[in-house]
């Protein structure tokens, strides 16, 4: 099945990270805007049989660092003095904090991936991988406006919200999408609509704007491979067909948008516990992995959350 790679170009800061489930929620609103609510309902009903699998947005040319079996502890070589050994340990510690691996490095390692091989490869990471370091987070100050007086309270009215600015070279993002029966033009219109309206929080203030630079079919060698484990590119749930998982957890505090953002009902969804991209596991059943989560809002039973995984196969070698 075709997997698309969408190349996005951020036009400014973003206040909400481009996670897979949130991206899919925006696709739903764009679909509704383009084709109407009845079409959206039919599309959502068909999803369990042919789900759209979508990744998070990653720095261009990068993938999340896979979670691998713990490697052997470094040992001081006989001819190595203590200072050199300490420096090597500090360098290894720094490498472990690196969140991304380039597509090129992943393809080079996928047939025998291990923690040691990954650290060795990341020691010589290219500039594209390092571009993620140009993303800077700021705390934007806001004022609380009293609804009766229309003024800011003298105390307790100031609060801060985080937003991310992508520097030159880091404003380009890739999103992978496996979308049955989708066309390039359909995907372009959906994502262009999201980019024009703005993604996530503070879109009315210009946050989350992006353009669609190009839509390509993803490198066929990236997804067509048979290995013993899978690397998740999405924020998804843990299901019974995912054996021996390694993962980091993310608590998702979702919020309704569009027509449901206002009114008397709360816009806030129930918190969800999801796996972060970079999670790895052994396939123990048929695809898809993860699931469509329902009952995520107390007042809107029709609303769900996209928690499926788009995965890359690879072979992990055992550590002795």
3-state SS assignment for residue 173: strand
Question: Does residue 8 contact residue 174 with C-beta atoms inside 8 Å?
Answer: yes
pLDDT at 320: 52
Element (H, E) at 100: strand 100-102
pLDDT for res 304: 92
Range in 122-136, 162-176, 306-320 the model is least confident about: 122-136
The predicted pLDDT at position 74 comes to 75
Structure tokens belonging to residue 62? 């990068």
Residue 94 has pLDDT above 80, yes or no: no
Q: For 33-52, what is the mean pLDDT?
A: 91
Closest CA to 241 of 254, 253, 232: 232
- Residue 314 tokens, joined: 């690879």
Return d(Cα 293, Cα 274) in angstroms, integer: 11
* Closest by Cα among 71, 60, 128, 66 to 99: 66
Average pLDDT estimate for 125-135: 57
Residue range 290-301: mean pLDDT, rounded: 91
pLDDT for 255? 86
pTM for the whole thing?
Answer: 0.88
| Distance of alpha carbon 9 from alpha carbon 11, whole angstroms | 6
pLDDT of residue 67: 95
Indicate whether 134 pLDDT > 80.
no
pLDDT of residue 319: 57
Mean pLDDT value across the chain: 88
Q: Report whether pLDDT(73) > 80.
A: no
- Does the pLDDT of residue 129 top 80, yes or no? no
Q: Are 67 and 279 in contact (CB under 8 A)?
A: yes
Listed range (12-16, 187-191, 271-275) with the worst mean pLDDT: 12-16
Is the pLDDT at 133 greater than 60? The verdict is no
Q: What's the distance, Cα to Cα, between the start and end of the chain in Å?
A: 37
Q: Which of 72-76, 174-178, 224-228, 315-319 has the highest mean pLDDT?
A: 174-178
What confidence score (pLDDT) does residue 243 get? 96
* Tens digit of each residue's pLDDT (9 = 90 or more) over 158-181: 888 888 888 777 899 999 999 988
Going by pLDDT thresholds of 50, 70 and 90, the confidence category of residue 126 is low
pLDDT band, very low/low/confident/very high, at 132 (cuts 50, 70, 90): low
| Dist CA 100 CA 64 (whole Å) | 5
């Amino acid at each position: 099945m075709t997997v698309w790679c969408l190349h996005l170009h951020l036009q400014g800061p973003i206040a909400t990270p481009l996670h897979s489930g949130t991206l899919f929620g925006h696709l739903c609103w764009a679909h509704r805007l383009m084709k109407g609510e009845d079409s959206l309902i039919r599309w959502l009903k068909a999803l369990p049989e042919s789900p759209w699998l979508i990744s998070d947005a990653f720095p261009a040319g990068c993938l999340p660092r896979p979670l691998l079996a713990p490697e052997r502890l470094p040992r001081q070589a006989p001819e190595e003095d203590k200072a050199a050994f300490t420096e090597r340990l500090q360098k290894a510690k720094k490498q472990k904090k690196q969140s991304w691996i380039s597509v090129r490095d992943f393809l080079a390692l996928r047939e025998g991936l291990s923690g040691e091989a990954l650290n060795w490869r990341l020691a010589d990471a290219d500039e594209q991988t390092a571009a993620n370091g140009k993303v800077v987070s700021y705390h934007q100050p806001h004022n609380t406006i009293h609804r009766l007086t229309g003024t800011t309270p003298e105390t307790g009215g100031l609060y801060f919200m985080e937003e991310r600015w992508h520097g030159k070279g880091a404003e380009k993002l890739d999103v992978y999408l496996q979308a049955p029966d989708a066309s390039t033009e359909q995907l372009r219109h959906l994502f262009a609509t999201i980019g024009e309206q703005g993604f996530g929080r503070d879109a009315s203030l210009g946050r989350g704007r992006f353009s669609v630079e190009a839509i390509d079919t993803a490198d066929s060698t990236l997804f067509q491979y048979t290995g013993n484990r899978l690397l998740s590119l999405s924020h998804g749930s843990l299901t019974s067909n995912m054996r021996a998982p390694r993962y980091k957890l993310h608590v998702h505090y979702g919020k309704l948008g569009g027509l449901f953002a206002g009114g008397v009902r709360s816009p806030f969804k129930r918190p969800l516990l999801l796996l972060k991209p970079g999670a790895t596991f052994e396939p123990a059943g048929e695809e898809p992995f993860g699931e469509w989560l329902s009952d995520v809002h107390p007042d809107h039973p029709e609303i769900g959350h996209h928690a499926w995984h788009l995965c890359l196969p690879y072979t992990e070698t055992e550590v002795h």
